[in-house]
Structure 1
């Protein structure tokens, strides 16, 4: 989706106005539900409406499906506003027409025995992301007249392996973990060993082997000193879910480096963004910096949750395991009342089971804290009373999640605007299936 600079500014300003109104809801942390009495922070009309509503209906409402529930006008207005302002999440990506040697079977891409060559050692979610990301990168590279690309945070090198061996691009991966880089090189050799069984010596000789660099990036200036071959002096940048500030760092490198012809960036881990200082990852654009643009850690954290998966579980009535939020919140009240210093103590994450008692959950959760639990019957009675309110916990968490796309939209459009302010082409597309890959938007910027 292509935006004009003025349009992006308008959307961002409106999103932030709504967020400012509902900061109180976004900043509620589920652990503190009972400690801070979250339920009574909701407007009275919301409490009356959601007190006895089956969470299944909430799943329908947030999924924009028909509902016969009578809802407060303030809540309806909020939901419609969020839906109108936020980036669409349903994938619309269609692969472009590119000139390919579709009749040449003597290649990694088209040989029938090598069809699943690039799926080995790759999980389903990653297969989905790599396949579509590679298609987007190839199309963007063709439009930019650039056949070289560098992938940052390349891990085991699955994406650069596809781009090099399959799509015949000059590809390099940058990874900070030495072990992953070494494993990526081993996987390259394993792939070549398999390919040699099916392709001719001439085709083998033409294969482009990806490069793998071991670098920990702290400044985009480091990228200028990479020992790239002459064939990669002009290149495109790829970031498939770079964590925290790495995404903004890549955008800064793109806008400041004329030799970088394009960038394809999928962000994630917004809660790890630095939000102050000269190298902050949010806000990036001058316009958003001029606004009241603060996004708390908790609002950025919930914006990274899988809203489609969560709503589907609500809709199908599979929300029993969501009780785990209530278990943890009830335990939090016990810990804080025992010792306020134990607030947000790093207890173990325990999966919920319908057969698990609250007492068993608590004992397993605090194993690492090494704290004896209270023995008073009154304490356990209070804990069970809290658990009886688990539907309220689900409601408040769901209401927070309803605002999450608004926060993600602000973070992503701030990045788009950062590029547009420098008079470069930029668009953003929902490419991945959000049920498989919740952070599914790709920012595509080109220097043409």
Structure 2
């Protein structure tokens, strides 16, 4: 397969964006390489340029949200900002993929809002049948509905009717794809308790459909009949097993072929060798997302892919391999592409990959509300100085304090933290120095925001690496912001196929504006009639 000309042009722009992001991260490594809990113990405020210090010290929490974390023009400033700070903000935003779904409405002031489908009822999507809301949290309802439409469109474009859901958990997405869109499903899940629960929920839904069909047919002559659609839909097949990111695709197919009581699961849900399949993963953790990409590129049976990744910090790197690296083995979760692997300074240590997983929209909302929990940054940084005073060799220990400890006076918070660490909770400290540190809460939060501003750029680099990897294998692919980011922070889906639809159009509309910014629009959510329809 050879990439079409417009995809080759886009690939060059994507490679350049990766170069620019790496340069940006390298330029500000003196901020990214630090930990906010060491704000006082390492005197981190001195790492901030003096011209930035005056500007940041005067910002209220809501202003930090608007002027530092939110996209768009930097308006509403009542002071002249240093050009270097404006350039930092502009670069961080320009190099990050837009996170708002195309056509979606931006969040109103205040943050913490829910998508339109939850305005009437905060726990039940108005766009889902009650069958698919049972046992499903609102966030997951939003995700399975949106991703389900993309998977359905991909199956239509590739002529494929079987979907394999890796990391399927309790089977919510598998169940939705089977009963809403009439697809044949195999879910692969490593945790046995989740597989058992998924099968239970499947049977529960099928029983509910039987009862509903029986009630609706009471006036018919054949009162016991079910709707034709309900009778035809096979239960998803839930396979207990682990998708090994380092294993060859042949092992993956063997896992799919293994028997798991087909007489109980329903023969229609079982995959057989030679049958094409679409691979999907909703919040595939760590190396599971990269494993899906590799199986798509190498396995002849996999004709389509939709991957929503999460937990980037759990992905393996050459410096932090998931298992002992064999000679000549260069496969890892990051970087995947030859291009990014060859760029100087491309390395992303654990801290940066963890930062990429932060929910920046949620934090912006907390700033706007001036949430009391924001003071925990300052509390923990002050506690770090006390810990080092008592034990200079102990640095950045994990402190598991009770919930809502930010509501306690600092002394109560600190003594609870020391006790958790096995240290003397009655230890004495310089009260005057502590009060001086607590008075700098605004600076601590501002410093944290400086790092958080680059979180979307780091995530964009990780996702760009995966896009470039697929295009290096000559597979056109698209990265789509699919979910509402205020509701589902890891909201990008990577879509790829080994065939195009009948019109020759890509699976989602994608264009590049004059600045090289990728503008994506998710496929429309078609109303495909089936045995269980959305409201």
Q: TM-score, normalised by structure 1?
A: 0.91
Q: Could you report, residue by residue, the CA deviation over 1:78-127 in whole angstroms, capped at 9, with x for unpaired residues? A: 21122222111011279xxxxxxxxxxxxxxxxx9x92101000111111
Kindly state the Cα deviation for residue 67 of structure 1 after the two structures are TM-superposed.
Answer: 2.0
Kindly state the Cα deviation for residue 344 of structure 1 after the two structures are TM-superposed.
Answer: 2.1
1:164 is aligned to 2:188: no
Give the direction of change, closer, same or farther, for the CA distance of 1:93–1:131 in structure 2 (3 Å limit). Answer: farther
- Aligned to 1:53, what secondary structure does the other structure show? coil
Which residue of 322, 326, 335 corresponds with 1:283? 335
1:57 is aligned to 2:63: yes
1:123 is aligned to 2:137: yes
Q: Could you report, residue by residue, the CA deviation over 1:297-329 in whole angstroms, capped at 9, with x for unpaired residues? A: 222111111111211222x24243200111111
Match of residue 31 from structure 1? 37
Match of residue 83 from structure 2? 73
Say how many residue pairs are matched.
428
CA distance in 1, matches of 2:93, 2:276: 40
CA distance in 2, matches of 1:355, 1:319: 11
Q: Could you report, residue by residue, the CA deviation over 1:270-322 in whole angstroms, capped at 9, with x for unpaired residues? A: 111211053311011000011020112222111111111211222x2424320
Kindly state the Cα deviation for residue 366 of structure 1 after the two structures are TM-superposed.
Answer: 3.5
CA distance in 1, matches of 2:11, 2:58: 45
Match of residue 433 from structure 1? 484
Question: Structure 1 stretch 319-328 or stretch 416-425: which is displaced more?
Answer: 319-328
- Decide whether the 8 Å contact of 2:186 with 2:238 is kept in 1: yes
Match of residue 359 from structure 2? 306
Match of residue 153 from structure 1? 167
Give the direction of change, closer, same or farther, for the CA distance of 1:27–1:128 in structure 2 (3 Å limit). Answer: same
CA distance in 2, matches of 1:180, 1:220: 23
Kindly state the Cα deviation for residue 360 of structure 1 after the two structures are TM-superposed.
Answer: 1.0
1:217 is aligned to 2:269: no
1:7 is aligned to 2:27: no
1:261 is aligned to 2:282: no
Which stretches in structure 2 are left out of the alignment for 5+ residues?
1-5, 105-125, 214-224, 258-269, 319-324, 500-535
CA distance in 2, matches of 1:220, 1:195: 40
Give the direction of change, closer, same or farther, for the CA distance of 1:374–1:37 in structure 2 (3 Å limit). Answer: farther
- Decide whether the 8 Å contact of 1:236 with 1:263 is kept in 2: yes
The 5-angstrom pairing of residues 102-121 of structure 1 reads: 115-121=129-135
Kindly state the Cα deviation for residue 385 of structure 1 after the two structures are TM-superposed.
Answer: 2.3
CA distance in 2, matches of 1:361, 1:253: 49
Which residue of 77, 90, 102 corresponds with 1:92? 102
Give the direction of change, closer, same or farther, for the CA distance of 1:377–1:204 in structure 2 (3 Å limit). Answer: closer
Which residue of 108, 133, 151 corresponds with 1:137? 151
Give the direction of change, closer, same or farther, for the CA distance of 1:13–1:373 in structure 2 (3 Å limit). Answer: same
- Decide whether the 8 Å contact of 1:170 with 1:231 is kept in 2: no
CA distance in 1, matches of 2:429, 2:405: 23
CA distance in 2, matches of 1:340, 1:71: 39
- Aligned to 2:354, what secondary structure does the other structure show? helix
Which residue of 471, 489, 492 corresponds with 1:420? 471
- Decide whether the 8 Å contact of 1:93 with 1:431 is kept in 2: no
- Aligned to 2:453, what secondary structure does the other structure show? helix
CA distance in 1, matches of 2:162, 2:440: 56
- Decide whether the 8 Å contact of 1:237 with 1:250 is kept in 2: yes
Kindly state the Cα deviation for residue 445 of structure 1 after the two structures are TM-superposed.
Answer: 0.7
Which stretches in structure 1 are left out of the alignment for 5+ residues?
95-111
- Decide whether the 8 Å contact of 1:220 with 1:250 is kept in 2: no
Kindly state the Cα deviation for residue 342 of structure 1 after the two structures are TM-superposed.
Answer: 2.5
- Decide whether the 8 Å contact of 2:162 with 2:271 is kept in 1: no
- Aligned to 1:78, what secondary structure does the other structure show? helix
Match of residue 48 from structure 2? 42
Match of residue 404 from structure 1? 455
CA distance in 2, matches of 1:231, 1:354: 56
CA distance in 2, matches of 1:319, 1:338: 31
CA distance in 1, matches of 2:347, 2:313: 12
1:325 is aligned to 2:377: yes
Match of residue 18 from structure 1? 24
Give the direction of change, closer, same or farther, for the CA distance of 1:116–1:338 in structure 2 (3 Å limit). Answer: same
Give the direction of change, closer, same or farther, for the CA distance of 1:340–1:214 in structure 2 (3 Å limit). Answer: farther
Give the direction of change, closer, same or farther, for the CA distance of 1:421–1:16 in structure 2 (3 Å limit). Answer: same
- Decide whether the 8 Å contact of 1:243 with 1:269 is kept in 2: yes
Q: TM-score, normalised by structure 2?
A: 0.76
Q: Could you report, residue by residue, the CA deviation over 1:45-84 in whole angstroms, capped at 9, with x for unpaired residues? A: 1112112222321211131352224211001112112222
Kindly state the Cα deviation for residue 187 of structure 1 after the two structures are TM-superposed.
Answer: 0.5
CA distance in 2, matches of 1:76, 1:319: 26
CA distance in 1, matches of 2:349, 2:84: 23
- Decide whether the 8 Å contact of 1:170 with 1:232 is kept in 2: no
Match of residue 427 from structure 2? 375
CA distance in 1, matches of 2:274, 2:189: 18
Question: Structure 1 stretch 411-420 or stretch 209-218: which is displaced more?
Answer: 209-218
- Aligned to 1:88, what secondary structure does the other structure show? coil
